[in-house]
Amino acid sequence: MSDLIQLIEIPKIEDPRGNLAVIEKDVIPYDVRRTYYLFDVPSGAYRGGHAHKECLELLIAVSGSFEVILDNGKEKQRVMLNNPTKGLLIPINMWRELENFSSGAVCLVLASHTFDEGDYIRDYDTFKALENA
């Protein structure tokens, strides 16, 4: 497994009536300041296409599946998320692209910071220049 990938196991409580996944303070290494989710992503579309300077994010496929391409400026790694008890921790200064969403897929994102446009690196050439500096 590449150093780019850090999967976090989300505790699951099994019950015949349905399972329950629990994310509390010890599951992820930061306080959650923002929660959002992606859904109804059209076939062939992609999301992401940026990196963060300070914000950490945990991505979870709570329904369906999608792929995440991680890029640290030197190597790329593709990760399939399709299990609601596995979260992909994305560190700072990591370019990410999300694609190949299945029908009905929902991507939950737990972020360490509130939205701040200044935290985003949205241009890949700028990202590469910063990583190679």
CATH of residue 59's domain is 2.60.120.10
Mark whether 113 is an active-site residue.
Answer: no
Examine residue 85 and state whether it is found in any structural domain, yes or no: yes
Average pLDDT, the chain: 94
Examine residue 127 and state whether it is found in any structural domain, yes or no: yes
Q: pLDDT digits over 23-72, tens only?
A: 988 999 999 999 999 999 998 899 999 999 999 999 999 999 999 999 99
Examine residue 70 and state whether it is found in any structural domain, yes or no: yes
User: Alpha carbon of 52 to those of 31, 103, 107: distances in Å?
Assistant: 16, 28, 18
Average pLDDT, integer, range 5-17: 95
Which structural domain, as residue segments, surrounds residue 61?
Answer: 7-131
The total of structural domains in the chain comes to 1
Examine residue 1 and state whether it is found in any structural domain, yes or no: no
> Which member of 27, 32, 47, 50 is catalytic?
50
Q: pLDDT digits over 60-118, tens only?
A: 999 999 999 999 999 999 999 999 999 999 999 999 999 999 999 999 999 999 999 99
User: Alpha carbon of 73 to those of 78, 94, 125, 126: distances in Å?
Assistant: 14, 8, 10, 11
Q: Do residues 80 and 65 lie in contact, with contact meaning Cβ atoms separated by under 8 Å?
A: yes
